[in-house]
Chain A
Amino acid sequence: MSCSQVYQIKALPLSFHTANELRKRAELLPSGPRWKSQEILTSHPTKRPVFLYWRDSLELLQYLFNCPEFWTSMELTPYRLYETAARLCRVYMEWMSGNDAWSMQVSFLPFRGFPL
């Protein structure tokens, strides 16, 4: 690269001037859950040593929960869905509309209303 090109690049209104700098900036971002590996000791011999590669399951959930992409489509409260206001016929769709989620969530919560 000629000297004049270098000067031109340095003159650009960018926060980085080399590929390395850009990469370092990208590395500054919060990274996903880290991989771990561990050797598993087995009671019986195997042909090769057994390795487990894994990530912390809770960190993964935190990553998904924290992801701005999913925030608009995240359901956080269980609900019961009915076809009509008479509440005769239940409708089942998402996990949160099921009875499992409902019965796990505690029954006495601050509000008892049911928004229409």
Chain B
Amino acid sequence: MMHGLCRSVSCHFEGSHSDINQSQIPAGATLLGTILSSDKTNISVLAGDRIAHPLLISLANIKMATRLKLSSHAFLLAALLPVPKFVHKNKRMKGVLEDRLIHQCLNIVLEPLKRAAQVGVMLSNPWGHNRYCFTPIASYIVDTPEAAMLATIGGKTSPVTMAMYKQFSDPFQHEPRTSSTTLAQLVAVASKADPSDLEAYFREAQKFRLNGVHIPFWRNIPMLCPSRFLTPEMLHYFHKEFWDHDCKWCINALGPEEINFRFSVLQPVTGFCHFKEGISSLKQVTGRTHRDVQRSIIGVIAVSAPRNVVIAVRALMDFRYRVQAYHITEKDLELISSALHEFHSHKHSILDAGLRRGTANKPIDNWYIPKLELMQSVVPSIPRVGVTIQWSADVTEHAHIDQIKDPARGSNNHNYDPQICRQLDHLEKCRGFELAMSLKDPELGLDTSTGAMDGEPGDEENDPSVISRCVTDYFARSLRLASSTPDTVPLPRRTFSASCIAFNLTYDPHIRRISVDNAAKQFGLSDLRAALADFLSYERSHSVDSVHPIGGGPRKAAENTELPFEDIQVWFKLRLQTTEIHTHSILPAQTLLASPPEGDWKYGRYDSVVVNVDSAKIWPASGLQGLLSIILFRISTIFIPCLIRTLDCTTPPHYAALGQAA
């Protein structure tokens, strides 16, 4: 796969004449895919139920890498939809009125866009050239209840297919709910009841499983169909689904005490949440936590939960992880659908074991989970609109912070909406001024690398879910150090790389000087001396630039071998950096820690890591098994001979990652 990528071939416009249909745009015109997103959000801190309902807008033409970066401000606030309080005695009707109002407002806001989607519009690019543009809606990013509201669907029904709740567990996708179907149903409803007679209209609409909205905002555009623009949304489809369902099954399978205990004894890893108190009693968890639980749940439940339950949960996890890729091939699509299929063929075991439970711990004997049905639409959507991760609500929910919450904080807590607008206006003026300054004087530069959300200080460099941060490039640093003259950089080099891994150590070692024998005693490594001797002889016979293991198996050298040095330096912390497998862009570095034996930890504590030590093999093409010699070892401590520095400072330093190989 990796090799194929390098030769990726693209062909532009090579469709056949038969493709032409009414949704096509004229020759020479430009497609501008609009992205919309709306979601209710709480704006007040401590001040009751102040809710804003922002509508954000962006362009699908902007590449994901830029668009998903929070600091790029690619999502703009298009409208603050009203959140009114209707005076109506029936709560249900209040909901219908609110839904109708949202559609009415969307109609006003999106009217120019809809016209441009049909007849086109001239827009100018930064050089003042005009382009004839068409603006179809590429995606509308919403959570599940709001998706139903937009599709004018009532509860317990899929917004994108014809499935109703009893069919949610079917292992196939139902036929899509096209706009023409819904519109025909609306005509049928209107023939029986007058839309202004709310109760009667709602009763009739319910027969078609509709929500009582009589004028949907997407009604008059053929290209605009909810089943197309409601793209699968990762945050709600996958992560919330995992937390609400998969995780509960696992807790029920093992029992809360057992699963909490297992989570509490997991090795803490820098940058990821560690659940000291377990997971069963967590409240108000964020998407980050969902993801951190996902990382270890399979390992935690393996063996103890029934075999088929583990298979089902694991298959769903496979599905989730594969869909999150930034680059999906047709082969990957097959794997994704087979993972989902595997879940469906094993899911009965979850019900059989009575793991799906409702209130008062009563077993539920059905699969009426809307998100399960929505998962079926993931695979068909990828060939249509590209990878799913770009339509994630993560970025729009973060955009709420700087588009809504921060401006609201600066207000006087009364009548938020106009104040938010005014503040955004000011901010945009300031940004425009900055931009003009940076265009005039390129050295000033537009500061896009900083100023992103900084909600969680202290984990800047270890959070893979946040794309916005500036990542330190240890590869570049190691190359720079390797090419500089020995006198100008501190030796041994603290940053070095081998094929696709870069290593970084702090400038100061944690133990400045310790004799080999003392180190052996302190770290409980009786064969340290022999291992170091083996390492040196390996370095002499092989290239010094490759990663190679020491440890595991019998030592070649005798235990009391003479070493060319007596003292060593010791590091407890190592930062590893790798590259993204699809794009080869660098990933944030990961910190690995080790602590020597002390107290209850007789053997010390070590982080594990899987490293490819055979430069002829490339992950993931070679897989974990077969020819690829991957050593799972515990980075215990990094030892550097102290004295050797003076003898041999031109060759790369002899770093030894000592491991008691697993």
Q: Could you tell me which A residues sit within 8 Å of B by CB distance?
A: 26-27, 29-32, 35, 37-38, 40, 42-48, 50-71, 73-85, 87, 89-116
Contact = CB atoms under 8 A, between A and B. Distances in A.
B113 A57 contact: yes
B16 interface: yes
Contacts of B328: 91-93
Nearest to A74: B61
Interface of B: 1, 4-5, 7-17, 19-21, 23-34, 55, 57-67, 72, 74, 76-82, 84-88, 97, 100-101, 104-105, 108-113, 116, 121, 123-126, 131, 133-136, 138-139, 196, 198, 223, 228, 326-331, 382-387, 390, 417-418, 420-422, 424-425, 428-430, 432-433, 435-436, 439, 446, 448
Contacts of A110: 27
A93 B386 contact: yes
Contacts of A89: 4, 329-331
B97 A44 contact: yes
Contact of B78 (A54, A81, A87, A99): A54
Contacts of B418: 37, 53
A57 B57 contact: yes
B112 A56 contact: yes
B323 to A, nearest CB: 11
B530 to A, nearest CB: 48
A105 B25 contact: yes
B108 A83 contact: no
A80 B33 contact: no
A21 B610 CA distance: 61
A30 B85 CA distance: 38
Given A64-B76, A90-B330, A103-B15, 11 more contacts: A40-B105, A42-B84, A44-B198, A52-B81, A66-B124, A78-B13, A91-B327, A98-B386, A100-B138, A105-B13, A115-B12
A109 B13 CA distance: 7
B62 A90 contact: no
A113 B11 CA distance: 7
Contact of B79 (A52, A63, A82): A52
B24 A45 contact: no
Contacts of A115: 10, 12
A50 B84 contact: yes
B9 A82 contact: yes
Contacts of B432: 26, 29-32
19 contacts: A26-B432, A29-B429, A31-B429, A32-B428, A40-B104, A46-B86, A50-B82, A54-B79, A61-B116, A64-B76, A65-B32, A65-B59, A73-B65, A78-B13, A82-B10, A89-B330, A95-B386, A105-B24, A116-B9
A32 B425 contact: yes
Contacts of A65: 32, 59, 61, 123-125, 133
